[in-house]
Amino acid sequence: LESYVLPKSLVDAAKTEEEIEEFLTSHEANDEDSLNRDGKNYDENESSIMKHLPETFIKARKEAALGQTRAAAKMTRRTKKMLIPLKIGQNCTVRVPDVDRGPADPKNFLVVVMAECEGLYTV
């Protein structure tokens, strides 16, 4: 009994060792019942989560696709505002990306528009 931590009220109220043992056995039975209930609740929660898991993934994928569509539309609108339409024979400058040029190469090229096909230009 020394290994158990007993409430002070129980120690004061208990007159015999049998009363203390009876309290401990009832307390252990209550613990086992609560563990069984918790295990049952866990199984019920797990089954309900697994039942709704595919719906959650589908919803998240739809939201992600919708977000990507909105972002693409926003990028397209911004690009159309920034870039003016060109005419065939018009001169313009084309910027060369830093990774594609050497240290002595020019940053921009002066080019002439030769043809246009679906919004893309041949220079």
Q: Do residues 1 and 20 lie in contact, with contact meaning Cβ atoms separated by under 8 Å? A: yes
Q: How far is CA 88 from CA 10, 93, 94, 119, 123, in A?
A: 99, 14, 15, 12, 9
Q: What is the pLDDT of residues 23-64, one digit of tens each?
A: 667 766 665 555 555 555 666 666 666 777 778 888 999 999
Structural domain spans, the chain? 1-82, 84-123
Strands (E), the chain: 91-95, 108-112, 115-117, 120-122
The three-class DSSP label of residue 1 is coil
The three-class DSSP label of residue 99 is helix
Q: What is the pLDDT of residues 76-109, one digit of tens each?
A: 999 888 878 888 999 999 888 888 888 888 899 9
DSSP structural state of residue 60: H
What are the beta bridge partners of residue 120? 117
pTM over 0.75: no
**CA 33, CA 39: separation in Å to the nearest integer?**
10
